[in-house]
């Protein structure tokens, strides 16, 4: 750990225990109020869900950003982070909360389960680093907080989980002694949500105060990256040899080849950055330096193979929301090839005092790019349903698929109003050689009550009439 990092560690988290408890409690009360009096039974549930995430994000970001003497600055940073996520939150909550629209759930699930958390984590890291070194933040600060934030969040979740388990264990014990009051109380939302909020806020504050523990965890992670780098390099060499001898067939014979390639690249990216660390040190020992260079060479190859797999699938089946998300993530992986190439070029100066000096600043830019892309995927700017519907229409209009093979039900029940518009547009393809089959397909899709009914017309027709009506 550098001198600057030691200074940050010593001053981090002081005086946050009581504010953390109070802010967590107020957040829990606010969450209960929004859920109980706004979201439940309200036609404008997406706005309530958006407000819910805004409140929770602001509170968590504040507790992660706050330092003694800098509480107001932390408030501004937390509000900024939460505000940047409002538009994608509302767009995805609107799509997920309206069953009538018949939209594929994948974009909303990806945003709320993965994309949003990653974007918020990067934003908190960048804002926290900018507090230390100004804008743009120095990569040493970005790396330090980027490693520390997940440890704080993970530790806080563990503490909060243990507290909830102990709470219910105590209630169960009292219930066994015929004291049912607490068991009933602990299951009431008006009590449980504020309690969990208070425990969560206090847990974040406590974890931020355990700097010796966080430092030990950082050391273990960095040591693990050094060990894994050797394994990653061996795997990269092996895979490249297999590809050189047998081509991409062994990869494409497995399901989801693009996902495997992207997964390898992302894991390798994390391991490499664990070895590179904050960019302030000189080159590592030769036994570690060479495996790192080999791993960098593998990134562009993984990205190209994944792109090729996507290209084949899109050529056969067109764009879908999952493929659009996959393409965007793979584009980010491919963009990281710029970082890899910059690192490899700087290795021409083998005896340089700093190791790959360009990688640090490029890593910071890549972090910001990840936020932009993830947020864009969850807004009308990159509407995955609309883009998919246009892609599917183009397959029919350009006669790249036979009408017998085309899935009109997917347009109707997975792409919602965007698919309906393209179905209507298909009916206007008067010059299409299979216009009759197109009309029949559109009619069958629109007459079906569900996607299952569309795909199983024989079964539906065989059911008794009263069953189908129910």
Q: Is 98 left (phi over 0), alpha (psi -120 to 50) or beta?
A: beta
Instruction: Give the CA count within 13 Å in the CB-facing half-sphere of 209.
Output: 13
* Average pLDDT over every residue of 16-21: 87
Angle formed at CA 379 by CA 54 and CA 76, multiple of 5 degrees: 35
pLDDT category of residue 102 using cuts at 50, 70 and 90: confident
Q: Name the token pair of 160.
A: 């909060």
CA–CA distance from 168 to each of 128, 160, 196 (Å)? Answer: 36, 13, 12
- Find out whether 311 and 326 touch, Cβ atoms under 8 Å: no
**pTM of this prediction?**
0.90
| Bridge partners, 415 (sequence order) | 103
Query: Residue 462 pLDDT > 60, yes or no?
Result: no
Q: Render 10-24 in DSSP notation, one character per residue.
A: HHTTTT-HHHHHHHH
pLDDT category of residue 468 using cuts at 50, 70 and 90: very low
Q: Name the token pair of 401.
A: 């698929």
Instruction: Tell me the C-alpha distance between 96 and 53, whole Å.
Output: 15
Chain-centroid distance of CA 172 in Å reads 37
- Find out whether 392 and 410 touch, Cβ atoms under 8 Å: yes
Percent of the chain with pLDDT over 70: 92
Query: Residue 98 pLDDT > 80, yes or no?
Result: no
Q: Is the peptide bond before 90 cis (omega within 30 degrees of 0)?
A: no
Backbone torsions φ then ψ of 277, nearest 5 degrees: 60, -135
For residue 35, give the DSSP letter. I
pLDDT of residue 43: 64
Angle formed at CA 367 by CA 365 and CA 371, multiple of 5 degrees: 115
Average pLDDT, the chain: 88
Instruction: Tell me the C-alpha distance between 31 and 25, whole Å.
Output: 10
Q: Name the token pair of 92.
A: 């995805």
* Average pLDDT over every residue of 189-197: 89
pLDDT of residue 338: 87
Instruction: Tell me the C-alpha distance between 166 and 284, whole Å.
Output: 46
**Shortest CA distance to 201 belongs to which of 15, 9, 28?**
28
The model's pLDDT over 46-97, given as tens digits with 9 standing for 90+, comes to 888 999 999 999 999 999 999 876 778 899 999 999 999 999 999 999 887 6
Q: Name the token pair of 32.
A: 């209960």
pLDDT of residue 412: 92
- Find out whether 384 and 107 touch, Cβ atoms under 8 Å: yes
- Find out whether 337 and 275 touch, Cβ atoms under 8 Å: no
Angle between helices 45-65 and 116-133 (to 10 degrees): 40
Instruction: Tell me the C-alpha distance between 431 and 408, whole Å.
Output: 19
Task: Write the CB contacts of 405 (distance below 8 Å, at least 6 apart in sequence).
Answer: none
Locus of tokens 């996607």: 451
Q: Render 262-324 in DSSP notation, one character per residue.
A: HHHHHHHHHHHHHHHTTS-S----HHHHHHHHHHHHHHHHHHHHHHHHHHHHHHHH---HHHH
Query: Residue 463 pLDDT > 60, yes or no?
Result: no
Domain residue spans in the chain?
Answer: 3-209, 216-382, 384-469
Query: Residue 233 pLDDT > 60, yes or no?
Result: yes
The model's pLDDT over 299-321, given as tens digits with 9 standing for 90+, comes to 889 999 999 999 999 988 999 99
**Shortest CA distance to 302 belongs to which of 355, 240, 233?**
240
Instruction: Tell me the C-alpha distance between 152 and 301, whole Å.
Output: 35
Q: Render 324-388 in DSSP notation, one character per residue.
A: HHHHHHHHHHHHHHHHHHHHHHHTTSTT-SSSSHHHHHHHHHHHHHHHHHHHHHTSGGG-HHHHH
């Amino acid at each position: 750990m550098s001198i600057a990092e030691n200074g940050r560690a010593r001053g981090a988290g002081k005086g946050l225990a009581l504010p953390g408890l109070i802010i967590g409690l107020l957040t829990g009360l606010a969450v209960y109020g929004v859920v109980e009096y706004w979201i439940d039974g309200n036609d404008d549930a997406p706005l309530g869900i958006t407000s819910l995430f805004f409140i929770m994000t602001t509170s968590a970001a504040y507790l992660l950003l706050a330092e003694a003497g800098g509480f107001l600055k932390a408030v501004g940073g937390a509000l900024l982070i939460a505000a940047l996520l409002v538009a994608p939150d509302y767009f995805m909550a609107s799509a997920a909360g309206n069953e009538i629209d018949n939209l594929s759930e994948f974009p909303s699930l990806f945003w709320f389960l993965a994309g949003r958390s990653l974007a918020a984590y990067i934003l908190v890291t960048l804002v926290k680093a900018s507090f230390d070194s100004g804008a743009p933040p120095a990569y040493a600060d970005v790396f330090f907080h980027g490693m520390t934030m997940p440890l704080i969040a993970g530790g806080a979740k563990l503490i909060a989980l243990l507290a909830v388990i102990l709470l219910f264990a105590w209630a169960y014990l009292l219930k066994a002694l015929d004291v049912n009051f607490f068991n009933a109380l602990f299951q009431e939302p008006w009590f449980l949500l504020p309690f969990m909020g208070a425990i969560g806020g206090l847990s974040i504050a406590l974890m931020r105060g355990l700097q010796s523990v966080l430092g030990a965890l950082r050391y273990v992670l960095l040591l693990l990256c050094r060990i894994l780098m050797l394994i990653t390099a061996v795997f990269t060499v092996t895979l490249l040899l297999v590809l050189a001898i047998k081509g991409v067939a062994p990869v494409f014979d497995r399901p989801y080849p693009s996902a495997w390639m992207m997964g390898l690249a992302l894991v390798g990216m994390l391991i490499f950055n664990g070895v590179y660390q904050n960019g302030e040190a000189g080159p590592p020992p030769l036994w570690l330096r060479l495996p790192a260079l080999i791993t960098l060479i593998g990134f562009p190859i993984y990205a190209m193979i994944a792109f090729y797999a996507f290209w084949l699938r899109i050529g056969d089946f067109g764009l879908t929301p999952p493929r659009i998300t996959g393409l965007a993530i793979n584009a980010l992986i491919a963009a990281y090839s710029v970082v890899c190439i910059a690192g490899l070029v700087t290795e021409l100066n083998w005896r340089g005092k700093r190791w790959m000096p360009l990688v640090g600043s490029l890593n910071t830019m890549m972090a910001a790019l990840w936020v932009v892309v993830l947020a864009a995927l969850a807004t009308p700017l990159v509407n995955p349903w609309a883009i998919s519907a246009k892609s599917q229409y183009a397959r029919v209009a350009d006669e790249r698929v036979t009408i017998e093979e085309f899935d009109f039900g997917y347009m109707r029940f997975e792409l919602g109003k965007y698919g309906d518009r393209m179905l209507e547009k298909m009916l206007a393809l008067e010059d299409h050689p299979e216009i009759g089959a197109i009309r029949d397909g559109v009619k069958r899709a629109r007459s079906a009550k569900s996607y299952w009914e569309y795909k199983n017309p024989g079964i539906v027709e065989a059911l008794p009439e009263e069953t189908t009506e129910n």
